[in-house]
Amino acid sequence: MPLRLLKYAWKKPEDEPRFFPSEKPLKEAYDVVIIGGGGHGMACAYYLAKEHGITNVAVLEQGYIGGGNTGRNTTIVRSNYLTAEGVKFYDESLSLFEDLSDDFDLNIFYSTRGHFTLAHTDSAMRTMRWRAEVNKHYGIDSEVVDVETIQKEVPYMDMTCNGQHPVMGALYHAPGSVARHDAVAWGYARGAQMRGVEIHQKTKVMDIKTKGGKVVGVETDRGFVEAKKVISAVAGSTPRITEMLDIKTPIEIFPLQACVTEPVKPFMDTIVVSGSLHVYVSQSSRGELVMGASVDPAELHSTRSTLDFVEGLTDQMMDLFPFTSRMKIMRQWAGMADITPDFAPIMGKTDIEGFYLDAGWGTWGFKATPVSGKTMAYTVANDRPHELIKPFALSRYEDFKLVGEKGAASVGH
Amino acid sequence: MKFVTCPSLGKRALSEFTYGGRYEQEPAQETVSEKEWADYVFYHNGAPKVQIEWWYHRPTGIWFLFERDTLTDRINKVDFARKGMTHEA
């Protein structure tokens, strides 16, 4: 238990300090400006301050902290990916996640659930075996399990899926977890702020200024700020930022929608994913079913939600869990997923000196929050890419060295 | 549900269509360099804009071209893929 909770019990409410101190005016110059105050931007700021002693940093956020994809994902953390690059990267992230509550002295509600990826066809079973072998090779707890094991762990699931797509087995990943996504962003933000980083919400970057191929600062709606190094960690807004510098990327924006049901008694303590049915579901600590499906069919820069999505998703959900037909949907929302052709991120340096990209996070961004922050901070502080992110360079497409991450969620392969 | 008005077919539900990606002029196969090919396949300015896209109508098997705004999701023009753009949506 975080010590903070115990201390809080002995305090009067008015003794409790504000979580974030009130904002200061923008300074004229910073060493590093981070665009985007979500999990990734905050984590980068935190590790820059904590591990590299760079504290003259401003995080500029056009909305509010964690209001973008950080607060819109379905909070699943796992590392059972398919490529060597992906597995190593996400496993580092998972181990960082496990220590975050203590690191922040703040409860991020990290809850290890066990993660089933269901297979309904022979070819899906083959992919699961492949993934399990790649995972085991890198020391990840991952195995293929049979129908009886799944039924025992998830007794309320209809294993025949209404007789239409019988479950044949699953990839089981015991460390698969959920965490409170807002708390992750808040924890990193507060940790960074305590070490001197400035966070400016409601501050929109309008342009990035360069001189002789080098970044000199950013133009915001609150005036010009000088900066030698600028990091873009803006997920679905990445193309709008790269357009300012005329950088071309393979990123396309697709809305990714999710929804939650009304809260019910706890009945499911695992995470269930079905690639064939395009469904993933877990039960939150409040009792709501948190559900997601695949990305929307066409490119769109918008966070609008649709009835088509809920209809499609609930149709599949009722095949898996027939009793959910009596449950009500409480909320639905969408995030803008920045999808790359090989379902892996784009991280590191660019052709513009001093401009760093942390993008292409598509449907796999939340689970990478700690490791992306850590590796980006290293990359910015040393001006050379961290070993773990070398395969994720923007130039990999023209070098024809694509990563091909078929373990990514919510995207058809 | 979202609808779109097509030549010959009239008003159809958008869910009958499959998105086929951006319409772009393919570089000449004989003379294209590797860099130009990579640019054509991968690198582009993904910012919100009005663009022409391939859309496949599954029930009839006809390919259409839509002119669509990727910020507002508004479809401005629709026509058969082999004809080019003339009709208002």
Listing DSSP states for A293-332 in one string gives EEEPSS--------HHHHHHHHHHHHHH-GGGGGPPEEEE
Q: Does B33 touch chain A (CB under 8 A)?
A: no
**Where residue A125 falls among pLDDT bands split at 50, 70, 90?**
very high
| The amino acid at A258 | A
Are B45 and A239 a contacting pair at CB < 8 A?
yes
H or E element that contains A182: helix A181-194
Domain extent at residue B63 = 3-80
* Distances, alpha carbon A261 to alpha carbons A210, A286, A331, A409, in Å: 48, 11, 7, 21
Query: What is the tally of structural domains in chain B?
Result: 1
Contact A320, B89 (CB under 8 A): no
CA distance B36 to B45: 15
Locate the domains of chain A by residue range. Answer: 1-11+28-111+177-250+341-413, 115-174+252-339
Q: Does A251 touch chain B (CB under 8 A)?
A: yes
- How many of the other CB atoms lie within 10 Å of CB of A262? 12
Q: Bigger pLDDT: A260 or A6?
A: A260
Mean pLDDT of all residues in A103-118:
93
Question: Per the domain annotation, does B89 fall within a domain?
Answer: no
> According to the model, what pLDDT value does residue B87 have?
56
pLDDT at A39 over 80: yes
pLDDT tens-digit map of B15-56:
999 999 999 888 998 999 988 999 999 999 999 999 999 999
pLDDT tens-digit map of A174-218:
999 999 999 999 999 999 999 999 999 999 999 999 999 999 999
Question: Per the domain annotation, does B67 fall within a domain?
Answer: yes
pLDDT tens-digit map of B1-20:
889 999 999 999 999 999 99
> According to the model, what pLDDT value does residue B85 have?
61
* Distances, alpha carbon A185 to alpha carbons A4, A36, A70, A89, A171, in Å: 18, 11, 7, 20, 30
Q: What are phi and psi of A85, to 5 degrees?
A: -60, -45
Are B42 and A250 a contacting pair at CB < 8 A?
yes
Q: What percent of chain A has pLDDT over 90?
A: 81
CA distance A346 to A252: 12
Question: Per the domain annotation, does B87 fall within a domain?
Answer: no
Q: What distance lies between CA A107 and its chain's CA centroid?
A: 18
Residues 6+ apart with CB under 8 A from A212: none
Q: Does A398 touch chain B (CB under 8 A)?
A: yes
Q: Which residues of B touch A249 (CB under 8 A)?
A: 43-44, 46
Q: Does A311 touch chain B (CB under 8 A)?
A: no
> According to the model, what pLDDT value does residue A17 have?
75
Question: Per the domain annotation, does B57 fall within a domain?
Answer: yes
> According to the model, what pLDDT value does residue A110 have?
93
pLDDT at B86 over 60: no
Are A250 and B53 a contacting pair at CB < 8 A?
no
pLDDT at A3 over 90: no
- Parallel, antiparallel or unpaired: strands A355-359 and A223-232: parallel
Alpha-carbon Rg for chain A, nearest whole angstrom, is: 21
- Parallel, antiparallel or unpaired: strands A346-349 and A355-359: antiparallel
Question: Per the domain annotation, does B20 fall within a domain?
Answer: yes
> According to the model, what pLDDT value does residue A275 have?
85
| CATH number for the domain harbouring residue B59 | 3.30.2270.10
CA distance B13 to B57: 10
Q: What is the ipTM of this complex?
A: 0.90
Out of A242, A250, A301, name the one closest to residue B48 (CB): A301
- Please tell me the distance in Å from A152's CA to the nearest CA on chain B: 38
Mean pLDDT of all residues in A70-96:
90
Q: Does B26 touch chain A (CB under 8 A)?
A: no
End-to-end CA distance of chain B: 16
pLDDT tens-digit map of A319-366:
999 999 999 999 999 999 999 999 999 999 999 999 999 999 998 999
Q: Does B73 touch chain A (CB under 8 A)?
A: yes
Question: Per the domain annotation, does B74 fall within a domain?
Answer: yes
Please give the CATH topology (third level) of the domain spanning A115-174+252-339.
Answer: D-Amino Acid Oxidase; Chain A, domain 2 (3.30.9)
Q: Bigger pLDDT: A19 or A54?
A: A54
Mutate: best of B34, B42, B43, B49, partner A, most A CBs <10 A: B42
Contact A209, A228 (CB under 8 A): no
- Please tell me the distance in Å from B83's CA to the nearest CA on chain A: 22
| Average pLDDT score over chain A | 93
pLDDT at A2 over 90: no
- Please tell me the distance in Å from B8's CA to the nearest CA on chain A: 23
Q: Which residues of B touch A308 (CB under 8 A)?
A: 1-2, 15
> According to the model, what pLDDT value does residue A229 have?
97
Q: Which residues of B touch A307 (CB under 8 A)?
A: 1
Question: Per the domain annotation, does B88 fall within a domain?
Answer: no
pLDDT at A380 over 80: yes
CA distance A129 to A367: 23
H or E element that contains B42: none
**Where residue A413 falls among pLDDT bands split at 50, 70, 90?**
very low
> According to the model, what pLDDT value does residue A4 have?
75
Are A239 and B35 a contacting pair at CB < 8 A?
no
Q: Which residues of B touch A301 (CB under 8 A)?
A: 47-48, 70-71
> According to the model, what pLDDT value does residue A252 have?
96
Q: What are phi and psi of A239, to 5 degrees?
A: -60, -30
Q: Which CATH superfamily hosts domain A1-11+28-111+177-250+341-413?
A: FAD/NAD(P)-binding domain (3.50.50.60)
CA distance A205 to A338: 19
Question: Per the domain annotation, does B62 fall within a domain?
Answer: yes
CA distance A320 to A328: 16
Q: Does A308 touch chain B (CB under 8 A)?
A: yes
